[in-house]
Amino acid sequence: MRRVVITGIGLITPLGLTTAESWANCLAGVSGIGRITRFSAENYPTQIAGELKGFLPEKYFGPKEVKRFDPAIQYAVAAATDALADARLEITPQRADNIGVIIGSGIGGLSTISETAIALAREGPRAVSPFFIPSAIINMTSGYVAMRTGARGPNYSVVSACASSAHAIADGFHTIARGEADAMIVGGTEAPITELGIAGFCAARAMSHRNDEPTQASRPFDKDRDGFVLSEGAAVLIIEEESFARERGATIYARILSCGMSADAHHVTAPPENGEGAQLAMRRALRFAGLQPEQIDYINAHGTSTQLGDIAETRAIKAVFNSHASSLAISANKSMVGHLLGAAGAAEAAFTILALKEGVIPPTMNLQTPDPECDLDYVPHVLRRKEIHYALSNSFGFGGTNATLCFERHLD
């Protein structure tokens, strides 16, 4: 198995339109949640979301392209462009066959689907654009990144709800480790803040109703949590085989050691009470990395701010780490950024990687009244300086799909 390192990060989130801005606001405990401005949400039980503020697709696309591609594709291309620039990776004809793209999404082109369905109902089939299918299908997120960059290696998308981009990173990792590519562009994107998206999650009774206090609505592990907050954005990583990265003089953020995957085989949306599937994902990540539980310093939690999910994850951590669980530093970025669905795993992996590199753990915000069932160290309110050698990042999705990524600090 070849060693795999991270050399580039592209983040476009409700916390900022660049990696530096998103990370700085994450460390500062700034919330990216506010009232929905995309449409009138007065008749919806949930009227808040994590919208991108000031995103200009024209920075990355020509005028015609902006009209042709769903926001989910736009966000993916933007984050991938920024990640490649950060990695200073030039995809030359000589390298192109050995560089691939895997960018996942939980829902994909929801805006395009919603708007086209309305146009079809009102005006008939002639109202449907020839770009409807290419704009709506999820694999176009990876396909168009390849068209823009010339990357001709493995190319597809992963669809596994909230674990999509964590699985995309895992697949990219395995592709490089097996020798099928030298570098991979991996991550996730999501653009779900539409009337249909909000209505669907409201009907599922999954989201917070704290409309009068949007910045306090996402509160993982807090006794008064009442659901997650829907967000949009993209996160993309450049990962490379270590000697390939070193030979071209790349700056290395951290190393990917392993990924553990599992299924709950339990329920459409709810995890088992003991977090059995999450346990298995974490145990596998540790085993494949060759690490003992007590070697882990930090866990970036899935931490959605849902009643069942936060308790199940806490119980899973206790079961896997036993007495070491109380020594772990744990934090939940969703308390600030909201839930990016298919992009959440990659965004949280990026925050984990930056935490490793800089020796600082972002806080869990809004943890005012800890749930007695959630009694671990969630780094409340304020960042913590801590040297981290090994860290896990958890991502769990609807349908009971689980992924845990394991990272190691890079030492020059």
Tens-digit pLDDT profile for residues 284-335? 999 999 999 999 999 999 999 999 999 999 999 999 999 999 999 999 999 9
324 labelled catalytic: no
Confidence (pLDDT) at 41: 97
Range of the domain at 58: 4-247
Regarding whether 186 and 275 lie in a shared domain, the answer is no
361 in a domain, yes or no? Answer: yes
pLDDT band at 412 (very low <50, low <70, confident <90, very high): confident
More confident residue, 71 or 1: 71
Tell me the percentage of the chain whose pLDDT exceeds 90: 98
Residue 166 lies in a domain: yes
Distance of CA 161 to the CA centre of its chain: 11
CB contact at 8 A, 83 and 238? yes
104 φ/ψ angles, rounded to the nearest 5 degrees: -95, 170
Domain CATH number, residue 400: 3.40.47.10
Of 341, 394, 336, nearest to 21 by C-alpha is 336
Q: CA nearest 343: which of 22, 58, 99?
A: 22
Q: Considering the chain, what percentage of its residues have pLDDT values greater than 70?
A: 100
The answer to whether the CB of 259 falls within 8 A of the CB of 214 is no
Among 201, 223, 247, which residue terminates a domain? 247
Q: What is the dihedral of CA 204, 264, 49, 108, to 10 degrees?
A: -90
Can you read off the two tokens belonging to residue 131?
């770009």
Tell me if 252 is assigned to some domain: no
Boundary (domain end) residue, out of 212, 247, 282: 247
Q: Which domain-ending residue is among 222, 247, 272?
A: 247
Residue 1: pLDDT band by 50, 70, 90 thresholds? confident
The neighbour count for residue 129, using CB atoms within 10 Å, is 14
Whether 299 and 188 share a structural domain: no
Number of domains forming the structure of the chain: 2
Active-site position among 26, 302, 374, 406: 302
Are 226 and 296 found together in one domain? no
Residue 395: pLDDT over 90: yes
Q: What are phi and psi of 288, to 5 degrees?
A: -70, -25
Is the alpha carbon torsion for 148, 154, 157, 161 positive or negative? Answer: negative
Whether residue 320 lies inside any domain: the answer is yes
323-380: per-residue pLDDT in tens? Answer: 999 999 999 999 999 999 999 999 999 999 999 999 999 999 999 999 999 999 999 9
pLDDT computed for residue 154 by the predictor = 98
160 and 100 share one domain: yes
Residues 206 and 272 in one domain: no
Residue 148: how many other CB atoms lie within 10 Å: 17
Pair 46, 207: CB distance under 8 Å = yes
Match 């990687």 to its residue by tokens.
Answer: 353
Confidence bin at 64 (pLDDT 50/70/90): confident
* Residue-wise pLDDT tens digits, 84-127: 999 999 999 999 999 999 999 999 999 999 999 999 999 999 99
Residue 72 pLDDT > 90: yes
Same domain, residue pair 113 and 43: yes
Instruction: Say yes or no: 231 and 281 in one domain.
Output: no
Tell me the average pLDDT across 241-261: 98
User: How many CB atoms neighbour CB 92 within 10 A?
Assistant: 9
Amino acid at 82: D
Q: Assess if residue 35 is contained within a domain.
A: yes
SS3 content of the chain, % helix, strand, coil (to 5): 40, 20, 40
Together in a domain, 268 and 378: yes
| Domain annotation covers residue 253 | no
Co-location of 72 and 208 in the same domain: yes
Active-site residue (options: 162, 202, 259, 374) = 162
pLDDT for position 47: 98
Beta bridge partners of 222: 370
Do residues 11 and 64 share a domain?
Answer: yes
Confirm whether 92 is domain-assigned: yes
Q: What is the pLDDT of residues 117-158, one digit of tens each?
A: 999 999 999 999 999 999 999 999 999 999 999 999 999 999
Q: Which of 26, 339, 374, 406 is catalytic?
A: 339
Tell me the average pLDDT across 27-44. Answer: 97
- Residue 162 annotated to the active site: yes
State whether 233 and 264 are in the same domain.
no
Q: Is 20 a domain residue? A: yes
- The average pLDDT across 174-193 equals 98
CA distance 29 to 76: 25
Catalytic annotation present for 209: no
> How high is the pLDDT of residue 411?
86
Residues 243 and 293 both lie in one domain: no
